[in-house]
């Protein structure tokens, strides 16, 4: 694998919520060879539960996921990474349920979880594997086209797929943020598992819904600059969501293959 990766990240409470219940993590070994062998990992988790319980849930989910994946043998091939991601999401689900059972004031806390791991594919080229639960999102900007890779696990998304709501109405629907899948709520959490090849110049965005409820996809595309340094770009995306009122916590993780 010959690519190197640039990263940027930013999280913000926004302008309406008393605390930031989002969490994120990025692990990027500095050596390109290590990035392929050990695996780089990027995670966004959007906690829910109020009174900072969501922050505990999102942090616990990320810690558990990272711990589980740290035990993966080096150079784990693609399909095994997907199985490991699935097990790691289920371990995060159990960790939150167990904590809530031990501490009744934490009952009902949960989180979204969108995790992207870099893998080395059979031909030596880099690829990604994504595990996803909830309404945080993963996007890819490739050759000027922004593509949403994940599917929101929301009630309105199901209605859009059934044809009973338009995407435009779904955005402003009173139930727009009602999740049909989350981590830490039900006895089992089933992640969507996605895979793809990474091309040079690809820009990946992981974000919480505080970004995407404030900004539409075409606005995101205008803000995402294929060549800009990623740390200031992450800040710029968060600032743009705050300029729209910052109704929710906002988290952005950016990754570019160079």
Report the residue number, 72 or 133, with the smaller CB distance to Ca ion.
133
Q: In the range 200-239, which residues lie near Ca ion by CB under 5 A? A: 209
Q: How far is the CB of 17 from Ca ion (least distance, A)?
A: 8
Q: How far is the CB of 75 from Ca ion (least distance, A)?
A: 36
Report the residue number, 225 or 243, with the smaller CB distance to Ca ion.
243
Q: How many residues bind Ca ion (CB under 5 A)?
A: 3
Which stretch, 148-156, 166-174, 223-231, 247-255, contacts Ca ion (CB under 5 A)? 247-255
Which stretch, 40-48, 83-91, 148-156, 167-175, contacts Ca ion (CB under 5 A)? 40-48
Report the residue number, 76 or 112, with the smaller CB distance to Ca ion.
112
Q: In the range 96-155, which residues lie near Ca ion by CB under 5 A? A: none
12 binds Ca ion, rule: CB under 5 A: no
Report the residue number, 12 or 209, with the smaller CB distance to Ca ion.
209
Q: What is the distance between the alpha carbons of residues 162 and 110, in angstroms, rounded to a whole number?
A: 27
Q: How far is the CB of 83 from Ca ion (least distance, A)?
A: 29
Report the residue number, 6 or 219, with the smaller CB distance to Ca ion.
219
Q: How far is the CB of 136 from Ca ion (least distance, A)?
A: 8
Report the residue number, 12 or 248, with the smaller CB distance to Ca ion.
248
248 binds Ca ion, rule: CB under 5 A: yes
46 binds Ca ion, rule: CB under 5 A: yes
SS (H, E, C) the chain: CCCCEEEEEEEECCCCCCCCCEEEEEECCCCHHHHHHHHCEEEEEEEECCCCHHHHHHHHHHHHHHHHHHCCCCCCCHHHHHHHHHHHHHHHHHHHHHHHHHCHHHCCCEECEEEEEEEECCCCCEEEEEEEECCCEEEEEECCEEEECCCCCEHHHHHHHHCCCCHHHHHHCCCCCCECCCECCCCCCCCEEEEEECCCCCEEEEECHHHHCCCCHHHHHHHCCCCCCHHHHHHHHHHHHHHCCCCCCEEEEEEEEC
Distance of CA 68 to the CA centre of its chain: 17
82 binds Ca ion, rule: CB under 5 A: no
Q: Which residues bind Ca ion (CB under 5 A)?
A: 46, 209, 248
């Amino acid at each position: 694998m010959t690519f190197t990766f640039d990263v940027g990240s930013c999280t913000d409470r926004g302008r309406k919520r008393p605390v930031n219940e989002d969490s994120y993590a990025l692990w990027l070994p500095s050596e390109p060879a290590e990035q392929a062998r050990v695996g780089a990992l990027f995670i966004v988790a959007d906690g829910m539960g109020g009174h900072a319980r969501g922050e505990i849930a999102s942090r616990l989910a990320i810690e558990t996921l990272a711990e589980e994946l740290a035990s993966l043998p080096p150079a784990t091939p693609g399909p095994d990474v997907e199985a490991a991601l699935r097990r790691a999401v289920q371990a995060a689900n159990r960790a939150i349920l167990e904590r809530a059972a031990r501490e009744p004031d934490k009952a009902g806390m949960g989180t979204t979880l969108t995790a992207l791991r870099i893998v080395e594919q059979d031909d030596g080229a880099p690829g990604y594997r994504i595990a996803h639960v909830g309404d945080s999102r993963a996007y890819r900007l490739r050759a000027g086209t922004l593509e949403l890779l994940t599917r929101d696990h929301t009630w309105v998304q199901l209605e859009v797929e059934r044809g009973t709501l338009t995407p435009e109405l779904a955005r402003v629907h009173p139930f727009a943020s009602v999740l049909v899948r989350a981590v830490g709520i039900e006895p089992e959490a089933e992640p969507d598992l996605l895979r793809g090849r990474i091309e040079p110049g690809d820009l990946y965005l992981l974000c919480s819904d505080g970004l995407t409820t404030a900004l539409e996809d075409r606005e995101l595309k205008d803000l995402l600059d294929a060549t800009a340094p990623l740390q200031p770009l992450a800040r710029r995306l968060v600032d743009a969501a705050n300029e729209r009122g910052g109704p929710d916590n906002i988290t952005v993780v950016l990754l570019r293959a160079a």
